[in-house]
Every structure is written in C-alpha cells, then in structure tokens.
Structure 1
Amino acid sequence: MSRICEYYFAPQSPWSYLGHTRLIALAKQYDVQIDMKPIDLAKIFGVSGGLPLAKRPPQRQAYRLVEMKRWSEVLGMPMNLHPKFFPVSGDPSAKLIIAAKFAHGTDAAMDLASAVMQSLWVDEKNIGDADTLIALANAAGHDGAALFKSSETAAVQNEYDQFTNDAIAASMFGAPWYVVDGEAFWGQDRLDFVERAFQKK
C-alpha cells in the first residue's frame, strides 16, 4: 500500500502554483497517493492569525515579491508578479476542482488545478469568473458547463467546508500545506523535506 500525502492548497496562492507540478512529479516518483484538499484560505487565516495580502505590512509585501521572482526563476516557471486579476476569491475554482475530483478522480482534478493556477499566474485570467472556469474545464476535456453546475451543489460545498476543517485540525496556517505520516510541511520550499518523508520506509 502506497504512502499518502494530504495536500492542502488554495488555487489563488502563488506558492501553491509554484509547488503543484513538483508535488505531482514526486508523488509519481515515489508511488505516493495524493489526497488533495482545496481549502478556504481566508478561513485558515482567520483562525491562525494570518492576514490577507493587502493588510500585511509593506516590508512583508515587498519581500513576498522578491521571493516569488526568485522561485519562478529558479524553477523555470513563468509568473506574473502582479497578475491582472488578483486578489481574487479562490472559492469558485476550488469548488470546481472538487467537482472534478468527484466526477473524474484525483488525477483529473490535479490537472485541472494546474490549469487554474497557470491561468491566474501566467495567462492573466480571472479564476473567480464562471465563464473563465467553464472554458478551463472544457480545455481540460470536461463538460465545463456541467462541471461548473456541479461545483455549485451542496455536496461540493460540504466537501469544501470539510477540507477546510481538516486543514484547521492539521494546524494549517499557510498554503500549500503537506502532511505525510502525520508530519506537516508548510510551503513549496519544503518539498525537499516532503521528498525525504516519501523516501522513508
């Protein structure tokens, strides 16, 4: 039985974008199953003392941009540091990803999450817009309109709320957040440690 990595993330998070494809590659390399859980980051901040970007002190905002630029260059991942549609609510896209997981499984949902995050951080798209999300789902090979309709159901909302509650129980305070064998790792810059956890017997 393969090891499981609980993966808590927010589609609007730049750090989730920077770590997403690397987590997929590591999971494949070490035969680890990803238990993906898109979460409501605003609720996480609300219970953990985090602040939305606009409310952070200027020096923190400035250093965030420095780190985003460094990581995008080191990883060779294109990234707009000031995307046209940001800040943006992650709720509609997170629920679309959950609907994809329900309908098509984790791999399909992870692929859609990749497309959603790239559309925000590279392609200047509004991931809070229904038409944009439908188009992204269509491009991923799904019936975008049907998937978006599913994303608005109570079942998906309940799952979103449960994932967020799971994240709070796992002491999450920032995205992305990985849990392997009960051990938590915060941020895409901790993926080296996540890999070490994957290697343990």
Structure 2
Amino acid sequence: MTEITYVYSAHSAFAYLGSAELSRICTAHGATLIHRPILLSPVVEKQGSLPFRDRSQAHVDYFFGREIERWAEFRGVPVIAHRPKAHDADYSLASGMIIALGDSGGGVDDMAHRLLQAHWRDDMDLSDEAALRRVAAEAGHDPEILLAQAVSSPVKAQLAANNQWAQDHDIFGSPTYIVNGDPFYGQDHLALVERALDQPFAPACWHNPSVDGSPDTSV
C-alpha cells in the first residue's frame, strides 16, 4: 500500500486547508497517511527560516489575510476571518493527542483534522485542556485517558523524535507531504501529491550547454 508521510503542526493553517482534500486523495488511491506532527518553529528555524514573530507585517498580513481566505474559498473550507486569538499558545498537548493515537489509521486521521478545524474554524485554543477534552469526547475517545497518554514520556519522546526527524530531513514548513521519498511542501501542491501516487516524477531534464553544445534555454 502506498504511504504519504504527513509532516505538519497541529496549528497549521495550510494543513487545515488541505486536510479534507488530503483525505479524499488517500481514499481515492488507497494510500495510508503516516503522521509526523511537529512543533513548527524549532524546525523552520533550524533551516534558517524566520519565525512569524520576526517576519514583516506585510508578510504576516498577506499570510493570515488574503492567502488563507483565497484557499478557504477555493477548497470550500470554513475558516475564521482573523488570526486565531491563541495561535501563539503552546500546542504540544494537542500534538500529543495525535501521537497517542498512533502514526496511522482512521483514529489519528480524524483527530488531526478535528484539531486543525477547531483551531481555524472555531478559534479554539490548542492549549486549553477543557477544550481538548471536548474534542476528544466528540471523537469518541475517553478524554481523561487520551490526555494522560498525550503527556506521557513515550509520547513526549515521539514528538521530540518527530522534530529531530524533520530537521534531519530538511523540512522547512507545514504541511509537507512525502511520497516515495519525494517531498511536496504546501497544500497547494496536493495535485502533484496525487499525481505522484500513480506516476513518480522523472528526473529533471536540465542540460549543461558546456557539455552537449546545445543552446542554454533555461530560465
């Protein structure tokens, strides 16, 4: 069975915007998602990218304004009309809830979507334990058991391992989808992810004019 390694943060706007489409793709192609939730800032900063707190206001306004609004309309996904009030809150507990359910299967697929949706549709604080309990209960889990697992040593160790794995594999943003070792960054590349499930990409056809003597038409 084909696998898609799914690297994302539990508070990622674009992971949310692509979540339903990713589920459709997996169903249509019989693909399994392998979840690797991460804490985004340490990963992107390791690659030299600026965290949002250090980016220009114009960049932040574009990201949290027009870009999200356009993709929400295109995907038919409900989204709040502002940056979530608790977007900078610690979301490690929410990440732990995902990890506690395993790295694949319907339960973890559903939980990841519910948490992304709660943050971006309902403006939920992903560090709010009472709110996380409600999400767990609505998903059919025992909230106390799941939250206890989410803060357990094995789950914390797995989250740290996911962060290290992402850094070691040069992940620089959320979501990143990996098909047969080929990474695709951003939910705007889901059409290419779907294509790759059936047709792996051929090597690039760039040429070196100093070797083959043909004119250089690269741009």
| Whole-Å separation in 2 of the counterparts to 1:186 and 1:16 | 10
The answer as to 2:17 corresponding to 1:18 is yes
Q: How far does residue 77 in structure 1 lie from its aligned partner after superposition?
A: 0.7
**What TM-score results when the alignment is normalised by the length of structure 2?**
0.86
**What TM-score results when the alignment is normalised by the length of structure 1?**
0.93
The answer as to 2:78 corresponding to 1:93 is no
Q: Is the 8 A contact 1:7 1:177 kept in 2?
A: yes
5+ long unaligned stretches in structure 2:
201-219
5+ long unaligned stretches in structure 1:
none
Q: How far does residue 190 in structure 1 lie from its aligned partner after superposition?
A: 0.6
Q: Is the 8 A contact 1:9 1:16 kept in 2?
A: yes
User: 2:50 is paired with a residue of what secondary structure?
Assistant: coil
Q: Is the 8 A contact 1:12 1:89 kept in 2?
A: no
User: 1:123 is paired with a residue of what secondary structure?
Assistant: coil
User: 1:73 is paired with a residue of what secondary structure?
Assistant: helix
More helix by percentage: 1
Structure 1 residues 129-151: Cα deviation after superposition (integer angstroms, max 9, x where no partner): 11111111011000011100011
Structure 1 residues 55-106: Cα deviation after superposition (integer angstroms, max 9, x where no partner): 211121122121101001111111113223222222111111111227xx52
| Whole-Å separation in 2 of the counterparts to 1:124 and 1:63 | 19
Structure 1 residues 168-199: Cα deviation after superposition (integer angstroms, max 9, x where no partner): 22210000011111111000001011011011
Partner of 2:176: 177
Partner of 1:187: 186
Alpha-carbon RMSD across the aligned residues, in angstroms, is 1.4
Partner of 1:155: 154
- Higher alpha-carbon Rg: 2
The answer as to 2:42 corresponding to 1:34 is no
Partner of 1:110: 109
| Whole-Å separation in 1 of the counterparts to 2:90 and 2:193 | 28
**Identity %, equivalent residues:** 28
Number of equivalenced pairs: 198
| Whole-Å separation in 2 of the counterparts to 1:33 and 1:78 | 25
| Whole-Å separation in 1 of the counterparts to 2:15 and 2:90 | 15
Amino acid at match of 1:135: R
| Whole-Å separation in 1 of the counterparts to 2:84 and 2:131 | 15
Q: How far does residue 22 in structure 1 lie from its aligned partner after superposition?
A: 1.1
Q: Is the 8 A contact 2:44 2:171 kept in 1?
A: no
| Whole-Å separation in 2 of the counterparts to 1:133 and 1:198 | 34
Are residues 90 and 51 of structure 1, via their aligned partners in 2, closer, same or farther at CA, if it must alter by over 3 Å?
farther
Report 1:22-171 matches (<5 A). 22-64=21-63, 65-80=65-80, 81-101=82-102, 106-171=105-170
| Whole-Å separation in 2 of the counterparts to 1:55 and 1:46 | 11
| Whole-Å separation in 2 of the counterparts to 1:173 and 1:93 | 21
| Whole-Å separation in 1 of the counterparts to 2:39 and 2:76 | 28
Q: How far does residue 20 in structure 1 lie from its aligned partner after superposition?
A: 1.3
| Whole-Å separation in 2 of the counterparts to 1:108 and 1:73 | 27
Structure 1 residues 96-125: Cα deviation after superposition (integer angstroms, max 9, x where no partner): 1111227xx521011011111111111121
User: 2:70 is paired with a residue of what secondary structure?
Assistant: helix
Q: Is the 8 A contact 1:12 1:88 kept in 2?
A: no
User: 1:101 is paired with a residue of what secondary structure?
Assistant: coil
